[in-house]
Every structure is written in C-alpha cells, then in structure tokens.
Structure 1
Amino acid sequence: MSSPEISRISWGNMSVGGQHYKDCKVWPGGSRTWDWRETGTEHYSGVQPADVEEVVKKGVKTLVIGRGMTEALQVPVSTLEYIKSQGIDVLVFQTEKAVKEYNSLVSQGARVGGVFHSTC
C-alpha cells in the first residue's frame, strides 16, 4: 500500500487523494484532518508525540513534518526523540518544502508518512 500524493498545497488548503484539508496527517493508504484540539497542540508548544503517534503506528519508515508556511509551528526535541526511538527517520521543513520532499519519497515507493500545517 503506497502513501497518497499531496496534489496541492496553498495557504490553508491541502489536497490529498481528492480530500481537502487545512492541516493533515498522511500515511500509506490514507489521510485525515490533523485537528490540533485533539492533543492541545499550539504553535509554540509545537508538534507533540501524540500528534505523530497515529502515523508512526502505520508502519512508516520516514516521517515528514511541515512546520507551516512561515515555520511558526515548533517541533520539540521530545517529539523528534520519540519518532527516532521508534526506528523512524524524521525530516522537518517549511511546509511547501516538506510536501515536495514527501511527494519525492512517495514517488520512490518509500513507506512515508507526514503531518503538515498549511498556514503560519
């Protein structure tokens, strides 16, 4: 099962497999809205281990994190350590660059997942 390509990214809008999201999670075989309220995530506190856990459990080998268009979303060391402790490579970029890297990995057939913030 391959990871879905992100076909469009613009401020506040991402398209994945015909679905439209503001922020999203993607993994081999699926995608869904990334609702920060589920974990209490905010820009400064950043991406929490609980934000990536669902994607990690989908058997990805690489996880790409998009920090937003202006990189306002932080990624704490504790989250990076959690991902790495699961034997997963992690890449963190500005969201447009993150999507480009994610799609490149998808085109190579990699088991890749991601969490992407499409504003700030």
Structure 2
Amino acid sequence: MTSPEISSLSWGHMKVKGCPSNYKDCKVWPGGSRAWDWRETGTDHVPGVQPCDVEEVLMKGVDMLVIGQGMNKALQVPPSTLDFVKQKGSDVLVLQTEKAVAEYNKMAAGGAKVGGVFHSTC
C-alpha cells in the first residue's frame, strides 16, 4: 500500500487524493487518512501533539512520521512525543505545515512508508 498524496493545502483545508471529504487537520498513512479531531485526546497548541495523537498512524507500520505544526508553527511537539515515536521504531520530522506536506508528498511519491499528522491553521 502507498501513502496517499495530499493534493491541496490552504488555511483550514486539506485534501487527500482519493478521499471524498476535506479535512481541517488530518492523519494519513499508507492506504488511508482521516480527520484529526483534537477533542479525541484533549490536544491543544500547548503542550501540543501528544503520543496518543500519533499512535494510530504509527500502528499502520510507517517508517517515517511527518508532523505539521501549522502555518505559523503554533502547534508544539514536546520531546516526550518525539521519544515515543522513536521508541516505536519510526523516524520523525517536524516542520511548518506547508513544508511538512511537501516533504511528506515527496517521500510518498518515492514509495516510502510515510505517515503524517497535519494541522492546517495557526
């Protein structure tokens, strides 16, 4: 299975190729995607992305996890989350969302087992 391309990104909107709905924030992995609803885990900009936010994507067997911190990098990623990803055997890349999506798409196009969690606003 390949990781789906993120076909468009703008403030508050993301489109994943092959998915009929648009997302505000999303999780993607080889063979799928879904909305990333922060209310599920109580996520907020600070302290930011928690291990429970990325666990679902890691369970899909990704070698690389890309985290998009938002257009203005307002979403924090604490060291505990980075440690969690590494303990699960994946590499992690944390970038501003536009850069994160570009890197994710490049890796996905190259056939990498890449997943991501992306925040499309602040």
Which TM class, normalised by the smaller chain length? over 0.9
Quote the residue 2:27 is aligned against: 25
Please tell me whether residue 13 in structure 1 is matched to residue 31 in structure 2: no
CA distance in 1, matches of 2:87, 2:28: 20
Deviation at residue 108 of structure 1 after TM alignment: 0.5
Please tell me whether residue 63 in structure 1 is matched to residue 65 in structure 2: yes
Structure 1 gaps, min length 5: none
Structure 2 gaps, min length 5: none
SS of residue in 1 equivalent to 2:111: coil
Alignment counterpart, residue 51 of structure 1, candidates 50, 53, 56? 53
CA distance in 2, matches of 1:92, 1:62: 11
Amino acid at match of 1:39: T
TM-score, scaled relative to structure 2: 0.97
Quote the residue 1:81 is aligned against: 83
Alignment counterpart, residue 119 of structure 1, candidates 90, 104, 121? 121
CA distance in 2, matches of 1:32, 1:20: 9
Deviation at residue 113 of structure 1 after TM alignment: 0.2
Quote the residue 1:100 is aligned against: 102
Identity of aligned residues (%): 70
Deviation at residue 51 of structure 1 after TM alignment: 0.2
Deviation at residue 79 of structure 1 after TM alignment: 0.2
Which whole-Å deviations, capped at 9, do the CAs of 1:17-57 have from their partners, x for residues lacking one? 24310000000000000000000000011000000000000
Give the total of aligned pairs: 120
Which whole-Å deviations, capped at 9, do the CAs of 1:70-100 have from their partners, x for residues lacking one? 0000000000000000110000000000000
SS of residue in 2 equivalent to 1:119: coil
Q: Alpha carbon RMSD of aligned pairs, Å?
A: 0.5
Please tell me whether residue 34 in structure 1 is matched to residue 36 in structure 2: yes
Could you list the structure 1 runs, at least 4 aligned residues long, displaced by more than 3 angstroms after superposition: none
